[in-house]
Structure 1
Amino acid sequence: MKNILEETIQTYGIENWGAGFFDVNKKGHLIVRPSEEDVSSVDVVEVVEDLLKRGVKLPVILRFPQLLAHQVRKLTSSFQASIKEFDYKGNHLCVFPMKVNPRRDVLEEVLREGRRYNFGVEVGSKPELYGALALDQAPESLVVCNGFKDESYIRLALMGLRAGKKLILVIEKVEELHIILRQAKEAGIRPNIGIRARLYSRGSGKWEKSGGDTAKFGLTTSEMLEVVRILRENNMIDCLKMLHFHIGSQITDIKRVKNAIKEAARVYCKIREMRIDIEYLNVGGGMGVDYDGSKTSFDSSANYTMQEFANDVIYTIKLVCDEEDAPEPTIITESGRIVAAFHAVIITNIQDEIETVLDDISKVTTNDDDPQVVIELKDLMENVSSKTHREYYHDALEHKEELFTLFNLLFWEVCERANRFAQQSKIISEEFEDLKKILSAKYLCNFSVFRCLPDSWAIEQLFPIMPIHKLNSAPSEHATLVDLTCDSDGIIDKFVDLKDIKETLELHHFSPGDPYYLAFFMTGAYQEVMGNFHNLFGTLNEAHVIINREGYLIKKIITGSNLGDVLALARYDRNFLFENFQKHAQEQVKYGRLTEAEAVELCLEYEKNISNYTYLG
């Protein structure tokens, strides 16, 4: 028989989506391990309490660099194992897409750990390229330049090539090739060129439309032939180094991966038949993260492991190359989400509980003079049980329609008691799932959905969420989460579940004055860079945590946005703010509503507040 701790762990599904990094200790606290095999761990509650003592306010991002390093090692070793198993004659290189998480600390850790594997970088814009050219990476690692390009983008890329970067310009439009050739001739260098193919194959999941013949990016067959013709005419066909494709992020179904790989490998072989010594086959990104732990083709999951993905890529390309008698290329993967997702965990606190219909319920007494409908409802309330909860709930619904205003309080009491018994059943019907959501608590969280979990709002991406403490006691509430913004979309009401999507999250009772902390997991990919400043809530405080056998070391603390920072984004400079507030205060002195001393004190307090954190507390 399971104890409460085991049942709580099962409730939140941490064994399913935690990937060996996350677990719960005997205290009922969340712990983090640096790798699946490591016995070392850190108690997250201890870290949070340590940060609070240092004056670091919540919400805060806990960044675990060792998880980044582990994913880099695991990814490269998976492909190395596949190469060995299938006797693949080519090589494998990986590049980290900067769009996934462009923070310098993240890139430096990935490139530091990946140096021995020649781990490189992928960029898709001028700012990303500009930053990448300054990063320290292995000499044989790549800088893959994707995205639409103009004169200045291409000039910057060629500067990187001259500075010693092993840089490949991937053509998205034929027009880009003319600019590349002209500028390369002016600079007296021979560029490395790639072409992005628009495959017929599509991915799966939320980004399925990234592939297929209506995709935003990629050259058609006729356009690729035009590129080959232009390169031959300019005696630069030897500059064509890479064939690239990408069928979308977070591919949920491994069958779609196999189909696309097979199609792209055929295209590669046809290019080789044209006596073009193309060296790289870039299979793009798309390796999925199992956010809900179901290991299915559901949008928030993936029905394959990292090793399965590597096996299918290597095996399929080898199979096609053997059939076509073509040399096996160096395979490039653009792996970002699978590398970065796990390493960042957002910790916030419950600020308050918003009043719901159940909070209005007070003790009701009846007497013989009351209307019959009220007496019947009171009888339903007192006698509802595990055997009668369905019947009595339906009876209550009927009475509600009959005379709503008279017995509103009793109706919700019956609902609450019926729901309590329904949730104890092995099979919960749809009507009681709906009732559970209606009766659920609303916990006000000290964060912004639009800043911290933009994909939750924009595309209904699911993220694992759970308390970091009290896990040795059973949660008693079903709740949805609302944020601090003045926006009705600032809510989380869909949560990961092994078999389905939960519309409420099991949480403990909240008592003001008793801190209650929640963790949002797998936020290291896309969320930080895509988070916005809605309501001028800014970036979060963050702490870089190193896990060791003694516990942990807080290596670095980075302060999040203050009021002045976010107002500057909206073009409110400090002089404007201080001078205008002072003007308003002096007007009050003029009208006799403030003394001169009070006005000075008010202005000093206003200036002091500009350094405050944008969140509560």
Structure 2
Amino acid sequence: MNTKYIDLIDQSFHFPQEEFTLEDKNLFFHGVDLMQVVAEYGAPLKFTYLPKISDNILRAKDWFANAFKKHNYKGKYNYCYCTKSSHFKHVLDEALKNDIHIETSSAFDIDIVQNLKKEGKITNDTYVLSNGFKRDKYIGNIANLINSGHHNCIPIIDNYEEIDLLSQNIDGKFKVGIRIASEEEPKFEFYTSRLGIGYKNIVPFYKNQIQNNEKVELKMLHFFINTGIRDNAYYWNELTKCLKVYTALKKICPTLDSLNIGGGFPIKNSLAFDFDYAYMVEEIVNQIKTVCDEEEVKVPNIFTEFGSFTVGESGGAIYQVLYQKQQNDREKWNMINSSFITTLPDTWAINKRFIMLPVNRWYDNYERVLLGGLTCDSDDYYNSEQHVNAIYLPKFNKEKPLYIGFFNTGAYQETIGGFGGLQHCLIPAPKHILIQRDDNGNLRTEIFAEQQKSEDLLHILGYTNLRQDINTTNQKQGIEETLPINSQQ
């Protein structure tokens, strides 16, 4: 009988896959021996495989280049990285190797931009598209960037006051974009996005506040829907409405030359994932060109703002199954040595699903289980995977440690979880390592952050004296510093 975990995977999916292979009975991720990583760094741990960031950027650029060639599209394509997906320096440094641009969401994003400029990572020619609802600090930082000579900083207007606020702070002429407040999918609890300006109000807004304003030049129309880029009637309908607004605006605004279609490319969340990126890009480019030709206006330059697509598939987390609890005749709980609420908050907050696979013991028999975290919260669990609302893993054996990996977790987890801060039930943030390849393709790893220590958490909570007392006591007794949750191998 086919009762081994490897049999289950072979029967259910095409395997191996581009990023997942099996060598010496253990799981490799992009050629990285994950059991070797565990042996060196312990678990729980998080990792970022940096080459995947560049790989996805180059893939997207190729898709658009091929689509432009196929449809004889005369505009230019600009790839922007949506920094809110992950603000970490190692992510930006890797992404900026690929001649890309930046999309910002808040005042502090501009501080990051200024830092990158000082390091020579970006220049005044780099597009900085500033989205979001803008208050004093954000307005001021955008103005400082433009006043310092960054001519390609384009604030995307989100509400009717922003033109006046920017004009008061920016010394000379400046460029702007306008964000469309798209209509949401019918299943949403509201009809229209809170972001941007409604379809029917775009042209009147331009005529009232921009057309005769000598300081302001409209360059871009921004379009994005919450569901992201999907091959369904809702997406194509919203894109068509956007293009009608663009062509109407272009006819009265000669300076308008760019259409930002936002982000929203899905990332792989199952071994059965199937999304035809190249087809979607070709069809988007084709529809833009078709509508513009029909309306006899010049096709726009196309901008995208891919965030999760850029960084999501670079990240992963590895845990050890510590213990199995048989709670009733049917339910077995495998307890991991960390917490889903704290380390993968998307699984708890928005029911996000990631690829989950064992790192070792693929040739052992398997069983159906639930996965539980260490906190005393009933919501700290992960109970759904690609096998139709069930998780199958090699059978628990306390004599044979089992390690499991969650993959494509690189977007949003650290910022949602409050990296470096307090976590639910004071579960410490795990060790985080960076995985890179040198010019010869050889792997090299480095520790980005150690696992949090108890004194780190006590300091944040204000127990400064207690922290000092603990350290003093430990020194007197000759006790080495320990982690609240010891790494177990």
Partner of 2:270: 292
Partner of 1:22: 20
What secondary structure does 1:278 align onto? Answer: coil
Letter in 2 for 1:79: F
Instruction: Establish whether residue 31 from structure 1 lines up as the match of residue 10 from structure 2.
Output: no
Aligned residues of 1:30 and 1:468 also touching (Cα < 8 A): yes
Aligned residues of 2:5 and 2:366 also touching (Cα < 8 A): no
Aligned residues of 1:8 and 1:474 also touching (Cα < 8 A): no
Partner of 1:300: none
What secondary structure does 1:133 align onto? Answer: helix
Which structure has more helix as a fraction of its residues?
A: 1
Instruction: Establish whether residue 154 from structure 1 lines up as the match of residue 139 from structure 2.
Output: yes
In structure 2, distance between residues paired with 1:12 and 1:522: 20
Partner of 2:275: 304
Aligned residues of 1:542 and 1:557 also touching (Cα < 8 A): yes
Q: Mark the structure with the bigger radius of gyration.
A: 1
Partner of 1:382: none
* Cα pair distance change 1:613/1:543, threshold 3 Å: farther
Deviation of 1:214 after TM superposition, in Å, equals 2.1
Partner of 2:408: 522
Gaps of 5+ in 1: 34-40, 296-302, 359-438, 583-599
1:225 aligned to 190, 204, 208, which one? Answer: 204
Aligned residues of 1:29 and 1:469 also touching (Cα < 8 A): yes
In structure 2, distance between residues paired with 1:120 and 1:330: 14
Identity of aligned residues (%): 22
Which structure has more strand as a fraction of its residues?
A: 2
Partner of 2:101: 120
Partner of 2:291: 320
* Cα pair distance change 1:131/1:322, threshold 3 Å: same
Deviation of 1:99 after TM superposition, in Å, equals 1.2
Q: How does 1:336-415 map to 2 (within 5 A)?
A: 336-358=307-329
* Cα pair distance change 1:561/1:269, threshold 3 Å: same
2:90 aligned to 102, 105, 118, which one? Answer: 105
Letter in 2 for 1:544: L
Cα deviations across residues 130-164 of structure 1 (Å, max 9, x unaligned)?
21232222653311111111122111112122344
Instruction: Establish whether residue 46 from structure 1 lines up as the match of residue 36 from structure 2.
Output: yes
TM-score (norm 1): 0.72
* Cα pair distance change 1:167/1:15, threshold 3 Å: farther
1:466 aligned to 357, 379, 393, which one? Answer: 357
Gaps of 5+ in 2: none
Partner of 1:129: 110
Letter in 1 for 2:75: G
Deviation of 1:293 after TM superposition, in Å, equals 4.3
Instruction: Establish whether residue 9 from structure 1 lines up as the match of residue 9 from structure 2.
Output: yes
TM-score (norm 2): 0.89
Partner of 2:248: 270
2:429 aligned to 539, 542, 565, which one? Answer: 539
In structure 2, distance between residues paired with 1:197 and 1:615: 50
In structure 2, distance between residues paired with 1:571 and 1:305: 51
Deviation of 1:267 after TM superposition, in Å, equals 0.8
* Cα pair distance change 1:59/1:14, threshold 3 Å: farther
Aligned residues of 1:122 and 1:143 also touching (Cα < 8 A): yes
* Cα pair distance change 1:70/1:491, threshold 3 Å: same
In structure 1, distance between residues paired with 2:295 and 2:235: 20
In structure 2, distance between residues paired with 1:339 and 1:484: 31
Q: Which stretch of the first structure deviates more once superposed, 171-180 or 509-518?
A: 509-518
Deviation of 1:225 after TM superposition, in Å, equals 1.8
Partner of 2:174: 191
What secondary structure does 1:444 align onto? Answer: strand
Deviation of 1:451 after TM superposition, in Å, equals 1.9
1:234 aligned to 205, 213, 237, which one? Answer: 213
Partner of 2:445: 554
* Cα pair distance change 1:576/1:177, threshold 3 Å: farther
Deviation of 1:110 after TM superposition, in Å, equals 0.7
* Cα pair distance change 1:441/1:526, threshold 3 Å: same
* Cα pair distance change 1:138/1:3, threshold 3 Å: farther
In structure 2, distance between residues paired with 1:12 and 1:540: 32
* Cα pair distance change 1:603/1:534, threshold 3 Å: same
Partner of 2:365: 475
Deviation of 1:262 after TM superposition, in Å, equals 1.8
Deviation of 1:94 after TM superposition, in Å, equals 1.3
What secondary structure does 1:518 align onto? Answer: strand
In structure 1, distance between residues paired with 2:181 and 2:4: 53
Partner of 2:377: 487
Partner of 1:566: 457
Deviation of 1:252 after TM superposition, in Å, equals 4.4
Aligned residues of 2:79 and 2:303 also touching (Cα < 8 A): yes
What secondary structure does 1:192 align onto? Answer: strand
* Cα pair distance change 1:288/1:254, threshold 3 Å: farther
Aligned residues of 1:352 and 1:512 also touching (Cα < 8 A): yes
Partner of 1:577: 467
Deviation of 1:552 after TM superposition, in Å, equals 2.8
Cα deviations across residues 557-610 of structure 1 (Å, max 9, x unaligned)?
43232222233333333x35335x69xxxxxxxxxxxxxxxxx7567469954x
Deviation of 1:507 after TM superposition, in Å, equals 1.4
How many residue pairs get aligned? The number is 477
1:508 aligned to 391, 394, 397, which one? Answer: 394
Aligned residues of 2:180 and 2:222 also touching (Cα < 8 A): yes
2:50 aligned to 42, 51, 65, which one? Answer: 65
Aligned residues of 1:578 and 1:607 also touching (Cα < 8 A): no
What secondary structure does 1:193 align onto? Answer: strand
Deviation of 1:91 after TM superposition, in Å, equals 0.9
Instruction: Establish whether residue 143 from structure 1 lines up as the match of residue 122 from structure 2.
Output: no
Q: Which stretch of the first structure deviates more once superposed, 155-164 or 334-343?
A: 155-164
